[in-house]
Structure 1
Amino acid sequence: MLSLTDCLDFIDLDGDTIDVIAQHERLPAMLATQLGNQLLADLRGIWQLHLMHRALIDEAARRKRLGDEKELRRIYAAFSRKYPVPRRM
Structure 2
Amino acid sequence: MLSLTDCLDFIDLDSDTIDVIARHERLPAMLAAQLGNQLLADMRGIWQLHLMHRALIEDAARRDQLGHEKDLRRIYAAFSRKYPVPRRM
Match of 2:21 in 1: 21
| Structure 1 gaps, min length 5 | none
1:4-46 per-position Cα deviation (integer Å, ceiling 9, x unaligned): 1000000000000000000000000000000000000000000
Match of 1:10 in 2: 10
Distance (Å, rounded) in 1 between the aligned partners of 2:82 and 2:4: 22
Q: Which amino acid aligns with 1:32?
A: A
Give the TM-score normalised by structure 2.
1.00
CA RMSD of aligned residues (A): 0.2
Identity %: 89
Give the TM-score normalised by structure 1.
1.00
Distance (Å, rounded) in 2 between the aligned partners of 1:10 and 1:22: 18
| Structure 2 gaps, min length 5 | none
How many residue pairs get aligned? The number is 89
The DSSP-based 3-state class of the residue aligned with 1:77 is helix
